[in-house]
Structure 1
Amino acid sequence: MHRRDLLKAALALPLLPWAMSPTVAGARQALSAVGTWHSRVRPGQPGWPTSAQWDELSHAVGGRLQRLQSPFEHCGTGDAACQEALKQVRNPYYLGDTPSLTQTSGWADAWTSRPSVYAVAAENTSDVVAAVNFARKHHLRLVVKGGGHSYQGTSDAPDSLLIWTRHMNQIALHDAFVPQGCEGPARPAVTVEAGAMWVDAYNAVTTKAGRYVQGGGCMTVGVAGLVQSGGFGSFSKRFGTASGNLLEAEVVTADGKVHTVNACREPELFWAIKGGGGGSLGVVTRLTLLTHDLPDTFGAVFGSVQADSDQAYRALLAQTMRFYRDALFNPHWGEQLTFHGDNTLHLSMVFQGLSKQEAEQVWAPFFAWIKARNAYRFKNEVQVIAMPARHFWDAEFFRQHAPQLIVADSRPDAPPDRVLWAGDEGQVGQFIHGYRSAWLPQSLLDERRLDALAEAMFQATRHWGFSLHFNKGLAGAPADAIARSRDTAMNPGAMDAFALAITGSESKPAFPGMPGNTPNLERARQDKQGNDQCMDALLTVAPGAGSYVSESDYFERDWQTSFWGGNYPRLAAAKRRYDPEGLFFVRHGVGSEGWSDDGFTRLKPPV
């Protein structure tokens, strides 16, 4: 969104309540020292680099500077690139391999996927350093893209220079790793470069080496982006967040210096990148993560139940939450239950460390309760599956035993391990209408509050469906997993939450230039209203609940507190120390209140 100078004062007004908030009062001083330059340069403006200067950057990065253009730009001419893009628009591997595109095509009344002017296709840290120095010298808008899964559009910005880390994807395993400058104990770990996806990490660590690394549930999410946002995966209820398992990282800061950070060396920068949000504090180029003993089994429970009346659905909701509290609120269980407005409950749970028989025994009382009542029917019969944990991300295993659960990269030269969960295909290229999340505190599971929770859930479904992601709230996890995750920048409310509630709506891909795919904004706004009403109903029993920065509302109010709680002043201090000029910008990222929404115009500091 381009802001004109005359709007600066109006844009600064919403900052005043935040600036006066006691929660973030300590951050005001940290953000008050603004830099000396007041706007970033766009193409065609004085100061935009000359062709000769771009050539110098290209030479510095070994010819890996690319001029970007969307493959949809020339669709009206029968262009081959457009035809391939239309064919692959639901393929996340294609989108990730195309630096001019993003995994989400946009958000109604918020942002639209548009490519940067140039991209440095970085292959090493030196390439990243050269790009950072060039952007700082010429006052450019700088964007970083790894996996590119940002719903908020943080890996995307027109008129910018993109650092694209996709080709930095080397992985190395360690039997005994000690962070630099620290003293033992040595622990098993894996070092992953910033451009790797979780499918790469899981293949190396689990399928081939028989160990576990805490990563994301979607295989095409970028490793670096997930860790910097906090990082939940299907089994976080057992192993904590990805950021909590970070042992060491390499970071390029705004001055072009390369830092190796850990708990012993530059601990504040290390802490800040663990959940402080990607793209705000530096460019993370390499990460070393703790690995764990692999459980014997991973498994899943699928199915759906429908009630024949609103009264029966109310009873089902209450029974479901009591069953969760008594049987599933422990490190064995993760993923989600989804609640729909047609009085349907959808099961999509995973488990670890249990056999198929043990998992069936856990669920038997709940299913017996349903079968004993005529008010319910199984809309989809329940399936319980279990497998050796080593095969959970093994593409060949699924091709042989459960091909319906995966979708392959359809390009003819695609490596055989390039698959994604079939359930994730719907979000590829999506155009978002609305999206909100909230951490629900475990106190809601107390018997004295559980009926009120169930009623709020019922009222929410009258407006829109929602899911409870139990693996994205760490209450019920082992003490060591919670302790690791608490020592990160993410909102401490996640440690006391039994689940993250999510509601959202979307439509098919709508990249600019796609023929016939203009989004229906009237419908999108109606859907968003339903999403908002749904979440507002849930929040009647959890007022002030925080939101997960990676899965949140683009229009989040009081986002500093919502995303980071009491940790925001400390994050703001780290921003001031490592990026005082504000080179790194993402909307609603640390320090972004000092800039216009598009990151091009500096505003007055909070007062």
Structure 2
Amino acid sequence: MKPDQHTLPRRRLLQLAAAAPFLQALPAPAQPAFARVRPGAPGWPAEAEWKALGEQVHGTLIKVQSPWPACRATPTAAACQQLFQSAKNPWFLGDEVAMTQTLGWIDAWTSSPSVYAVAARNAQDVAAAVNFARQHRLRLVVKGGGHSYQGTSNAPDSLLVWTRKMNAITMHDAFVAAGCSGTAPVRAVSIGAGAVWAQAYDAVTTRAGGYVQGGGCMTVGVAGLIQSGGFGSFSKAFGLAAASLLEAEVVTADGQVRIANACQNADLFWGLKGGGGGSLGVVTRVTLRVHPLPENFGAVNFTVHAKSPAAFRRLVGLAIDHYADRLMNPHWGEQMRFRPGDELSVSMVFQGLGWSEARAVWKPFFDAIDAASQDFSIDFSPLKIVSTSARDFFAPTLVKRTLGFIKRDDRPGAPEGNVFWPGDQGQAGQVLHAYQSTWMPASLLQADQRAALCDALFAASRHAGVSLHFNKGLAGAPPQALAAARDTAINPAAIAAFALAISGANEQPAYPGVAGHEPHPAQARQSAQAVARCRDALRKVVPNAGSYVSESDYFEQDWQHAFWGPNYERLRAVKARYDPEGLFFVHHGVGSEAWSEDGFTRRSA
């Protein structure tokens, strides 16, 4: 007799039921990791698709050509020699789509251009590039000023959004952010994402008699500095550059052009104020508060040599005492450098004081040095204390150029306003060996802790130079500047710090594979070890230090805490809302822990 026709199905059901608990315990089939597409791989856009993008952005799509292969092939050619000479001009580097201001970091990254770039003219061009990258799974990079030490404004095998041409600047006598009709109008300036601070200062200070808080380096990009928090020479008076942000136009990962301010997209607005560039969207325009301009700006420059290590330790104490007693206030900014060889170099600026007032502030320090001539000698610049009209401070006047206080873009036909401070030229074309920064809390200046601080600075200087950037710590700033800084994403350690301590090492323009111009890895690693010992000496008095995202160690392990402290989880929430798929990636940026080091492959959860 044949079995019942329902018997086999019934038995199969019983077998499946018995096996069900074990089947549920088996792991789900592994899902392939999401990977972005590289040239030559399946999915890389066809030429017709690139052509369509070019038409959509009205001819601003560029097939990027690196100058380095030709230089490798003929390193002694005139063109190659000129390239290395031009790499000391920050304006040249900024105007070249294939270049970055820093050429690399030994054992970390090398400046490598994108395959294509959209030289965006407006937010719609940016949106087209963002949509194209998202739809084709491309690695997307954003470059404005191109000053990233950590290489975040370049990546090989990528599509670049290049904002350099978006540099329009518009003054507003009575600005009210969109949707904020109940707020009082303020003087403000709207600045395109591709503008640099020399252009902003020319428009706001030299031409319009106001002040906008921006970067100390005049070729740094405006939008990038705002997104990192933003310190300039006069931050002790006017606060963070990010805290002056009133409104931003930004393209998010879905290709939408959004307005972010305190009244709409407020969470994104907060994240853009110090959350780091390139992680939350592409900022295309910022509108910043314009402050009243002080009557005077000025500078103090000199170097003191100690004649023994013991004398240098005394000098460290004199310098720190003088800072704590007379300089930790809104008038003063910039830095003191404690260098190997028992040398103190002072390069400080002041605002709201005249020449005689600034001289009176420094007289006790100079008297103490003069009274100990057996231990110290002092060298002055041609003018140790200078004061000028604040409105003329950034202007490229003939007198300032003649005295060497300011330098100009030396390319034929370069605009008159293409200027930079001579001290910033060392950054142009550099190859980094190491870079460390540490927020130094103001509590270290208290009487019971000051000796330990001075001991740490002295110990650090035995290994490498260390600079105290007083304008990059907000302790001593007015209450309104501190309150505004607390409403940004920056690590709150910056608000409680009297300075940012920086130690670094670099070499001048070099590039791998170019004979006669190659970097020096062995020397770099020795320098990195010395800088690490310098940092370790400081962190004996600051064990849980924070660090400034724009000036920090590429290899920082606890970067989330170092850069943003308790604000990081809130930033992650903003990232999840506006870029849930992680289109925007930068090294040690918000959400980057979900990706491989190169940003091409999403890590499994």
Same fold (TM over 0.5): yes
Quickly say closer, same or farther: Cα 1:201–1:447, change in 2 above 3 A: same
Find 1:137's aligned residue among 131, 135, 138.
135
Alignment correspondent of 2:61: 65
Q: Distance in 2 between matches of 1:73 and 1:483?
A: 51
Q: Does 1:557 align with 2:557?
A: yes
Tell me the residue number matched to 1:41: 37
1:297 corresponding residue in structure 2: 296
Q: Which of 160, 163, 184 is matched with 2:161 structurally?
A: 163
Trace 1:353-372 onto structure 2 (pairs within 5 A): 353-372=352-371
Asked if structure 2 preserves the Cα contact closer than 8 Å seen for 1:72 and 1:85, the reply is no
Structure with the bigger RCO (C-alpha within 8 Å, sep 6+) is 1
Report if the CA contact (8 A) 1:142-1:583 is conserved.
yes
Aligned residues: CA RMSD = 1.4
Task: Give, in angstroms, the shift of residue 408 of structure 1.
Answer: 1.3
**Alignment of structure 1 residues 199-278 onto 2, 5 Å:** 199-278=198-277
The worse-fitting range, judged by mean Cα deviation, of 288-297 and 69-78 is 69-78
Question: How much has 1:513 moved relative to structure 2?
Answer: 5.3
CA distance in 2, matches of 1:37, 1:213: 45
TM-score by length of 1: 0.92
In structure 1, C-alpha distance between the alignment counterparts of 2:32 and 2:298, rounded to whole Å: 55
Structure 1 vs Structure 2: percent identity of aligned residues? 58
Residues 333-342 or 390-399, more deviating: 390-399
Aligned residues of 1:228 and 1:277 also touching (Cα < 8 A): yes
Which residue in the other structure is 2:391 paired with? 390
- The CA distance in 1 between the partners of 2:194 and 2:378, in whole Å, is 43
Mapped partners of 1:527, 1:508: distance in 2: 14
- Unaligned 5+ segments in structure 1 are 1-34
SS at 1:503's partner residue? Answer: strand
Q: Distance in 2 between matches of 1:138 and 1:81?
A: 36
AA paired with 1:129?
Answer: A
Structure 2 partner of 1:5: none
Contact 2:38 2:138 survives alignment (8 Å): yes
**Deviation at residue 432 of structure 1 after TM alignment:** 0.2
In the alignment, is the contact (CA less than 8 A) between 1:294 and 1:390 conserved in 2? yes
Q: Matches of 1:510 and 1:153 in 2, distance apart? A: 15
How many Å separate the matches in 2 of 1:451 and 1:79?
56
Cα drift, residue 512 of structure 1: 4.3
Aligned to 1:472: 472
User: Offset at 1:72?
Assistant: 2.5
Contact 1:36 1:581 (C-alpha < 8 Å) held by counterparts = no
Match of 1:89 in 2: 87
Match of 1:150 among 136, 148, 151: 148
- Whether the 8 Å contact between 1:121 and 1:164 is mirrored in structure 2 is yes
Q: Which residue number corresponds to residue 548 of structure 1?
A: 548
Distance 1:80 1:265, change over 3 A: farther
Aligned residue identity for 2:127: V
SS at match of 2:284: strand
* Matched-pair contact (CA < 8 Å) for 2:104–2:151: yes
Question: Is residue 345 of structure 1 aligned with residue 344 of structure 2?
Answer: yes
Superimposed CA distance per residue, residues 561-591 of structure 1 (whole angstroms, 9 cap, x where no aligned partner): 0000000000000000000000000010000
* Contact residue 511 and residue 519 of structure 2 kept, 8 A: no
Provide closer, same or farther for how the CA distance between residues 448 and 175 of structure 1 changes in structure 2, counting only shifts above 3 A. Answer: same
- Measured after TM superposition, the shift of residue 486 of structure 1 is 1.4
Q: Distance in 2 between matches of 1:123 and 1:398?
A: 36
Q: 1:514 to 1:218 in 2, by over 3 A?
A: farther
Alignment: residue pair count: 570
1:230-280 CA-to-partner distances (Å, cap 9, x unmatched) read 000000000001100000000100000011010111110000011000000
- Map 1:107-126 → 2, pairs under 5 A: 107-126=105-124
Question: In the alignment, is residue 307 of structure 1 matched against residue 303 of structure 2?
Answer: no
Alignment CA distance shift 1:224-1:147 (3 Å)? same
With over 3 angstroms needed to count, the CA separation of the structure-2 counterparts of 1:134 and 1:483, relative to structure 1, is same
Larger-Rg structure: 2
Which SS does the other structure have where 2:459 is aligned?
A: helix
SS at match of 1:495: helix
Alignment of structure 1 residues 524-603 onto 2, 5 Å: 524-603=524-603
Aligned to 2:502, the other structure's residue is in SS state strand
User: Helix, strand or coil: the match of 2:386?
Assistant: strand
Once the two structures are TM-superposed, the CA of residue 380 in structure 1 deviates from its matched residue by: 3.8
Is the 1:405–1:423 Cα contact (8 Å) retained in structure 2?
no
Consecutive unaligned residues of structure 2, counting only runs of 5 or more, are 1-30
